[in-house]
Amino acid sequence: MLRCASMDFRTGTLIFFCAALLCQACASAPHSSAPHAGPPTLQRKTARSITDADYDKAGARLWFLWREGSTCGLSVLNVADRKETRVRGLESCPTQLDVLDDSALLLTENDTGKLLDQEGKDVRNDVIAAADRSHLVVKTSDGFRWIHGQEEKLFTSNPGKRIRILPASSALMSVAWSGESETLRRLDFASGKSVTLAGPFRKVDSYDVSPDEKEFVIAADAGKGFDVAVGSTSSSALRPVGSEVLPETMVSWAPRGNKITYLLETGDGTIVRTVHVPTAFQVAAAFDGARVEGLAWEPRAERFAVVLSSPSASGHIRTVAYGGEAPTELLAPELSQTAPVERLQESSRDDLVTAPRAIRYGQRYPVVIWTAVQEPYAWNDARAAVIRNSDVGVIVTPRAVGELDQPFWASVLSYPWVDSRRLFVVAGSVSDQFIAPDDLSAPVTVIVPGSESEGTITAKGAITVRAPSNDGGGEWAAADYIAARLAGDSAEDDHR
């Protein structure tokens, strides 16, 4: 240890020399890990997400499910004046909403659900599928009961998942699974006979049935990714619809006009493709920089509503003509930010860049990289708080910490506004290896969720900071630490 302060120097030259040695020793010492992020510094603004939505049969009201933290609820929106009424809170958080008719709603999650009336009051809590109050499948202590008008039938074995009741055909459709494969099948009420309509597949993403119950559309993976096909509900012949390179998911059949839709997730957002089944004529509606979480056709099938989430705006609902024309915001986001979002330069992954709010010529800004993000296009409260609080660039990536390779860093550092001395990486997981980019003038700060007992990250060219994982997966703790660090940097700049 240098003990300069205890010496009795008689010349300013020796004092200067000793101070220089001390600075050199500090600079060459290995970087130590900060034990934990500090106390909260950011205001906790949280926005609800919208889970699913569906029109009533007149198209005058749009029902939707929402979630805010651990609280979930059901609301209805009057389409004419866009006024929301919160109908009730929910004990669980269902993921699907179906308006069956003018007297019933069905809320389901993982093939369990409940039937509500149009006032939002419970009718039955044992329903797993329903077409209306007279045609439903319920779970009982002795199995599953299929109620078809005045008749009932008991299943001692599971009737399948994602059940769709066809009341006019006295049948139901469901996805059955065996080992690692899934099939779409039809089960007749009278005979009890089961017929395979499509499959086997590695996985069935979704399916829907035409209003006359004669055809269905399915998105499934037969081994080459998710593709869309149309089939008959009385035979097993399939005809492909799309020829996209991208996965085709979340199919729906319009309530009239022989139209179907499916989603394409691109590098720039989501495309809703609409296909006229008899002629194969196609149109598309693009939602750049956003992810479509749900879709609901209005009864006339000229427009549909989409539930959207994006890095720029929390959950909101927009209605649009099926060709993409005349978009109208039905439900505005609770929180939003105006900073532009774009794809990372020279990247083939879903790496999204939110630039600083106002980039000044010659100015450089810190960058925060959020890793292992499963849905880069989703809104995130903690990330938005960092953007609101500081002039900072944010990169959201599905890559794990160990996948931040040199080409990735080259793309990041190619932006002229990036300050390579102030780089932060928020680790989405532990037990990984991080290697900083070459030739940096300062170490990267890696923020690791959880305690040491939950795993660690080996970091080269970096310092690590622990963020408690009991607060939103450590995201808020990471955001607080970053905000405090940047505020400290700003204060130092003010005194220079």
Range in 19-23, 123-127, 152-156, 240-244 the model is least confident about:
19-23
Averaged pLDDT for residues 78-105: 94
pLDDT on residue 464: 85
The residue count of the chain comes to 496
What is the distance between the alpha carbons of residues 394 and 150, in angstroms, rounded to a whole number?
A: 59
- Between CA 99 and CA 256 the distance in angstroms is 16
Q: What backbone torsions phi and psi does residue 495 show, to the nearest 5 degrees?
A: -95, 0
Residue 347: DSSP 8-state: -
Examine the pLDDT at 492 and tell me if it is beyond 70: no
Whether 313 shows a pLDDT value over 60: the answer reads yes
Flag whether pLDDT at 16 surpasses 80: no
**CA pair distance 169, 210, nearest whole angstrom:** 12
Least confident of 33-37, 128-132, 177-181, 229-233: 33-37
**Are residues 483 and 42 in contact, defined by beta-carbon separation less than 8 angstroms?**
yes
Please state, in angstroms and rounded to a whole number, the distance separating the CA atoms of residues 294 and 227: 19
Average pLDDT over residues 269-295: 94
**Amino acid in position 172:** L
Task: Report the pLDDT averaged over residues 51-73.
Answer: 95
User: Would you state the pLDDT for residue 37?
Assistant: 52
What is the Cβ-side half-sphere exposure of residue 220, based on CA atoms within 13 angstroms? Answer: 25
What's the confidence (pLDDT) of residue 376?
86
Q: Under CATH, which architecture does the 337-495 domain have?
A: 3-Layer(aba) Sandwich (3.40)
Helix (H, G, I), strand (E, B) or coil at 23: helix
Query: Is residue 23 scored above 80 in pLDDT?
Result: no
Summarize the confidence of residues 110-128 as an average pLDDT: 91
The domains of the chain are located at 163-253, 337-495
Asked whether 312 and 337 are in contact (CB, 8 A), the reply is: yes
Rounded-to-integer distance, Cα 383 and Cα 393, Å = 11
Instruction: Please report which confidence band the pLDDT of residue 452 belongs to, taking 50, 70 and 90 as the band edges.
Output: low
Q: What is the pTM of this model?
A: 0.84
Residue 178 is predicted with a pLDDT of 86
For residues 280 and 287, the answer to whether their CB atoms sit within 8 Å is: no
Which pLDDT tens digit goes with each residue over 341-389?
Answer: 888 987 767 789 999 988 898 999 999 999 978 888 889 999 999 998 8
pLDDT at 299 over 90: yes
